[in-house]
Amino acid sequence: MTKTITLGQFIIERQADFPYAKGELSRLLRDIGIAAKIVNREVNKAGLMDILGQAGSTNIQGESQQKLDVYADQQFIAALKSGGECCIVASEENEEIIRLDSDISKNAKYIVAIDPLDGSSNIDVNVPVGTIFSIYRRRTASGPATLHDVLQKGTEQVAAGYIIYGSSTMLVYTTGKGVNGFTLDPSIGEFCLSHPNLKIPETGTLYSINEGNYVHFPQGVKDYIKYCQVEDAATRRPYASRYIGSMVADIHRNLIKGGIFIYPVTSSAPNGKLRLVYECNPMAFIIEQAGGKATNGSSRILDLDVYELHQRAPIFIGSKAMVSVAEQFMQNTYERIRQN
């Protein structure tokens, strides 16, 4: 009989990977797991409660907030505050950083950046949604932590992960030592190791992009989409188009099966639309640790300078071979622009 390993047990067993941490990071990941269980409960009974629909407010991005957006935001902040291992939370739903100034957290070593409920506009139609999180060590040695502690390159992440609330609820995370996935067992209320040492296939047959914006895409992206649609037995084309509209769901599927997810710049979003701190960096860290690749079309996502809390970026992420080909199409576009 296979031994069941819970998230808590796994984190404790791997604690030796971090000689500079004395259990704080393990407890922080545990706090995130606890909040995820609470949010999962509400997501799964959303149709039975008055928690569907819009909250009547907008977030810093100018996007209409769903009731579950607000609820998830509150739950993660509360869990991180009570846990005491996090001094600042940066949330996609809030304009400014949130300082956790309680007696137990003001001297904490870690910063958490979080998208509490990615894809929440899909919740009303029962499409999988998720949470994305990223963890950094604070830079300042003493005194109150500041925005400077948050604005770090993706290469400085000590952990990142996501929770997908779907037909089953999974927590997938990395601490820079590979990627592992845990499925929530509702009978015991624990996340249990179900996908050890996750590896994304080198290539795949799926591409994920909102083709409704095709006319607004750069020429390189248009050319790559056409490439995906042309039959070629050697590269197993044509590829299948699969786009859910929830970054967590699209990338989770591609992580398991192989594929590429693209959210490029458009004429209406010249800097891209997805947030570098809350979405691109954590997902890039996870996919790279699983053997994949993540770029903005020309540069590695994790190497990008972070100068704004809600900074946006384009992203090409997934199976290494597919992302490399997409990059080449973008490079061809840049070359044409330079020549002209």
End-to-end distance of the chain based on CA atoms, in angstroms? 66
Last residue of a domain, one of 195, 217, 248: 195
- The domain spanning residue 21 has which CATH number? 3.30.540.10
Q: Is residue 1 part of a domain?
A: no
Question: Are 55 and 74 found together in one domain?
Answer: yes
- The domain spanning residue 301 has which CATH number? 3.40.190.80
For the chain, what percentages of helix, strand and coil (3-state, to nearest 5) are there? Answer: 40, 25, 35
189 is annotated as contributing to ligand binding: no
pLDDT bin (cut points 50, 70, 90) of residue 230 is very high
Q: Which helix (H) or strand (E) holds 337?
A: helix 320-339
115 is annotated as contributing to ligand binding: yes
Question: Are 35 and 90 found together in one domain?
Answer: yes
Which pLDDT value is given to residue 47?
57
What is the tens place of the pLDDT at every residue in 35-68? Answer: 999 999 888 776 555 544 454 445 455 454 567 8
117 is annotated as contributing to ligand binding: yes
210 is annotated as contributing to ligand binding: yes
Question: Are 77 and 161 found together in one domain?
Answer: yes
The most confident of 14-23, 142-151, 165-174, 300-309, by mean pLDDT: 300-309
92 is annotated as contributing to ligand binding: yes
In this predicted structure, the answer to whether residue 25 has a pLDDT above a threshold of 90 is no
pLDDT bin (cut points 50, 70, 90) of residue 203 is very high
Question: Are 137 and 175 found together in one domain?
Answer: yes
273 is annotated as contributing to ligand binding: yes
- Quote the number of domains for the chain: 2
121 is annotated as contributing to ligand binding: yes
Question: Are 168 and 234 found together in one domain?
Answer: no
Question: Are 229 and 333 found together in one domain?
Answer: yes
Which pLDDT value is given to residue 42?
84
What is the tens place of the pLDDT at every residue in 281-299? Answer: 999 999 999 999 999 999 9
Check if the beta carbon of residue 97 is closer than 8 Å to that of residue 91: no
In this predicted structure, the answer to whether residue 105 has a pLDDT above a threshold of 80 is no
Which pLDDT value is given to residue 56?
47
The CA angle 279-281-283, to the nearest 5 degrees, is 65
By mean pLDDT, which of 66-75, 146-155, 225-234, 251-260 is the weakest? 66-75
In this predicted structure, the answer to whether residue 150 has a pLDDT above a threshold of 50 is yes
279 is annotated as contributing to ligand binding: yes
Last residue of a domain, one of 142, 165, 195: 195
Domain that holds residue 327: 206-339
DSSP per position, 134-181: EEEE-S-SSS---HHHH---GGGEEEEEEEEESSSEEEEEESSS-EEE
Q: Which residue has the higher pLDDT, 106 or 187?
A: 187
Q: What is the pTM of this model?
A: 0.92
Which pLDDT value is given to residue 162?
98
What contacts 251, CB < 8 A, 6 or more positions away?
162, 208, 261, 283, 287, 317, 318
Question: Are 158 and 35 found together in one domain?
Answer: yes
Which pLDDT value is given to residue 64?
45
Q: What is the mean pLDDT of residues 315-331?
A: 97
Question: Are 180 and 141 found together in one domain?
Answer: yes
Mean pLDDT of the chain: 88
Question: Are 21 and 142 found together in one domain?
Answer: yes
Last residue of a domain, one of 163, 195, 227: 195
Which pLDDT value is given to residue 36?
94
Token pair in block for residue 164:
């997908």
Token pair in block for residue 64:
């209409």
Token pair in block for residue 142:
């003493």
